[in-house]
Structure formats: structure tokens, C-alpha cells
Amino acid sequence: MYQNITTELDGQTLIITVNRPDKMNALNKYVIDELGQALDEVYQNTEIKSAIITGAGEKAFVAGADITEFGGLGKDAGSALAARGNLAVFNKIESCPKPIVAAVNGFSLGGGCELAMACHFRVASENAKFGQPEVNLGLIPGYGGTQRMTQLIGKGKAMELMMTGDMIGAQEARELGLVNHVVPAAELLTKTKEILKKIQTKAPIAISYIIACVNEAARCDTNGFEAENERFGACFTTEDMLEGTGAFLEKRKPAFKGK
Ligand code: COA
């Protein structure tokens, strides 16, 4: 049924795997659509009590939005691309009344880091790497990263990570509070399933209320998400964004001009 993701029901947990390993599981519009459908399944199917999001292969969880889709986009189309993904996937994950956990098995960059951060919490393999490298492309995060990273690790660290575009390893991500547990790659799914099995023994309505209330604690951010979306679109009017994405696709270093 799906072409770009796989889903497997393991007990009462739906394991959703982004499945484009040759493209580092980058999020193109088809992945976004299919993730949206799988999430609808999580919301609607009463047999599903929780979900895990992970990536296929050993290298990447998700290495970001698919940069090849950025070509030719202007301000409104850039904002619309981000808004569409936020509605179909990122906000749907965050607001899901059933727990959704990211099992981060490798590169978790850009939209991939944002995908992990939209989940209710994160478990990482020892080889996982996190970062928001959009600035290298003349861009900013567009799937809620400026908001959720700040909420998760605090303003100073979020500023540095987003402004440098640096990647951090799993241990540092745990020290910062970005991930809850770091385990050997072979144990990643087992550990994540084990936590969810414990949660499944608790009262489901209480769990859904915890999710809603914890989300409310961060709710003063409504305008922040709008500000991010507006500026994500604005990046598409800059020469630097054309240079940054072009340089990535041509496998060369960008030369930014501040225009
Ligand atoms: N969008 C589109 N394609 C991507 C991608 C992305 N975000 N990330 C990786 N790919 C593609 C590469 O272009 C390459 O395709 P090719 O085989 O057709 O040339 C393939 O996936 C493998 O990636 P490659 O860069 O060769 O692997 P690597 O091991 O040398 O590096 C990364 C891995 C993750 C460090 C590197 O791919 C990368 O920096 N990706 C982009 C991260 C990013 O900027 N994300 C934010 C996007 S807004």
C-alpha cells in the first residue's frame, strides 16, 4: 500500500519506517503524504495503542527534507511546503493522543531532527547524529525546529546548534535532553518497544491527557510557529538559498553573499 514508508503492527505498536535508504530517507512529498496516512491509521485504528517512527537502513533516521524539491520555489510556495508538512505530519504527531516515539537510528538532520522532536520522546542508537544544518543551505528549519528545539534543549544551545549547523552525537544529545536513552543500534527497537509496552499497561485516557497537558505547557509558542513559517518562505527569495541548495546538489561548498 505504501511506496516510501513501511508499517508493521508489532503487538499494539505500529512501527512506521521511512524507507528511502539510498536517499538517506529524505522527506519528499510522497513520504510526507504517506506518513500522514499512517498517522491517520494510528489515530483511527483502536487496535493501535502507540507508534514508533524510525528510518530504514543503518545510516539514517531521516537526513532532512528532500533538497531536490526546493528548486524553483518562491516565498509562498516555500511557506506552503512547510505548512503542508506541519499539518499532515509534524503537528499530527505532537497532538496524537497515543504515544509516538522516535527510534533514531542514524543521521537525524534538518526535517529528520524535526521529525524526531515532534515525537513525544526519543530513543537513539549510539551512532545517531542530530543537527539542523539548514543554515548551510541558506535556509532555516521549517518543520517546527526553531520552536521545538528551543523547548527541548533551551535557547542558548538551540541558538548555537541552529546557527552553526553542527551535528552532535547521541551522547551529547542525551546530555542536552534531546534524547532520553542511548542504546547500541541492535537494541534500539527492542528498547523503544519495551518502554511503549510499559506505557500500554497504564490508563490510555490518562496517557492522552498527559500528552495534551505537556503540550499545553509549551503552547505559548503559537506565534513562534507562524514566525518560523513566514521566514522559511522568505528564505526562498534569497540568492543565498539558491546558492546553498545548488551547492549541495552539485556537491560543492556554497559561497554566500548575504543577498
Ligand atoms: N535531500 C535530498 N537528497 C539527500 C538528502 C536530502 N536532505 N540527504 C542526502 N541525500 C542524498 C544525497 O544527495 C545522495 O544522493 P546521490 O546518491 O543520488 O548522490 C544520497 O542521499 C546519499 O547521501 P550522501 O551525501 O552521498 O551520503 P554521505 O554519507 O556522504 O552524507 C549526510 C550523509 C546525511 C551527512 C549528507 O547526505 C547530508 O548532509 N545531507 C543533507 C542534510 C541536510 O542538509 N538536511 C537538511 C535539509 S533542509
Clarify whether residues 225 and 196 are in a common domain.
no
Residue 230 has pLDDT above 80, yes or no: yes
Question: Which residues, at least 6 apart from 242, have a Cβ–Cβ distance to it below 8 Å?
Answer: 138
Q: In what order do the strands lie in the sheet with 129-131?
A: 60-62, 107-109, 129-131, 168-169
pLDDT the model gives residue 218? 82
Share of the chain above pLDDT 70, in %: 99
> Does 257 reside within a domain?
no
pLDDT the model gives residue 222? 67
Clarify whether residues 44 and 125 are in a common domain.
yes
Clarify whether residues 177 and 157 are in a common domain.
yes
Helices (H), the chain: 29-44, 75-85, 91-95, 111-118, 145-153, 155-164, 170-176, 188-200, 204-217, 222-235, 239-249
In sequence order, what DSSP letters do the residues of 12-30 get, joined into one string? TEEEEEE--GGGTT-B-HH
Clarify whether residues 113 and 235 are in a common domain.
no
Characterize the bridge pairing of strands 50-55 and 13-18.
Answer: parallel
Cβ–Cβ under 8 Å, residues 176 and 157: yes
Please give the distance of CA 230 from its chain centroid, rounded to a whole number. 19
Clarify whether residues 172 and 241 are in a common domain.
no
Cα end-to-end distance, the chain, whole Å: 44
Model pLDDT for residues 111-145, shown as the tens digit of each residue: 999 999 999 999 999 999 999 999 999 999 999 99
20 CA to middle of ligand 1, Å?
A: 11
pLDDT the model gives residue 225? 87
> Does 194 reside within a domain?
yes
- The SS3 assignment for 142 reads coil
Ligand 1 and 142: CB distance under 6 A: no
Instruction: Report the distance separating Cα 81 and Cα 232, nearest Å.
Output: 10
pLDDT the model gives residue 227? 86
Clarify whether residues 21 and 71 are in a common domain.
yes
Model pLDDT for residues 205-227, shown as the tens digit of each residue: 999 999 999 998 887 656 788 88
Ligand 1 and 249: CB distance under 6 A: no
pTM: 0.95
Clarify whether residues 142 and 236 are in a common domain.
no
What domain range includes position 57?
5-200
> Number of folded domains in the chain?
2
Q: What residues does 60 pair with on adjacent strands? A: 107
> Does 136 reside within a domain?
yes
Ligand 1 and 65: CB distance under 6 A: yes
Model pLDDT for residues 76-114, shown as the tens digit of each residue: 999 999 999 999 999 999 999 999 999 999 999 999 999
> Does 45 reside within a domain?
yes
Residue 14 has pLDDT above 80, yes or no: yes
Question: Which residues, at least 6 apart from 197, have a Cβ–Cβ distance to it below 8 Å?
Answer: 11, 13
Clarify whether residues 77 and 181 are in a common domain.
yes
Ligand 1 and 64: CB distance under 6 A: yes
Clarify whether residues 194 and 90 are in a common domain.
yes
The residue length of the chain stands at 259
249 CA to middle of ligand 1, Å?
A: 9
Clarify whether residues 55 and 147 are in a common domain.
yes
pLDDT the model gives residue 83? 97
Q: How many Cβ atoms are within 10 Å of 175's Cβ, its own excluded?
A: 14
Residue 182 has pLDDT above 90, yes or no: yes
CATH number at residue 38: 3.90.226.10
230 annotated active-site: no
Mean pLDDT of 174-178: 98
114 annotated active-site: yes
Clarify whether residues 137 and 166 are in a common domain.
yes
Clarify whether residues 157 and 57 are in a common domain.
yes
Given the residues 41, 69, 94, 134, select the one marked as catalytic.
Answer: 134
> Does 16 reside within a domain?
yes
> Does 68 reside within a domain?
yes
Cβ–Cβ under 8 Å, residues 106 and 128: yes
> Does 255 reside within a domain?
no
> Does 258 reside within a domain?
no
- The SS3 assignment for 59 reads coil
Q: Whose CA is nearest to atom 15 of ligand 1?
A: 23
Instruction: Report the distance separating Cα 233 and Cα 79, nearest Å.
Output: 4
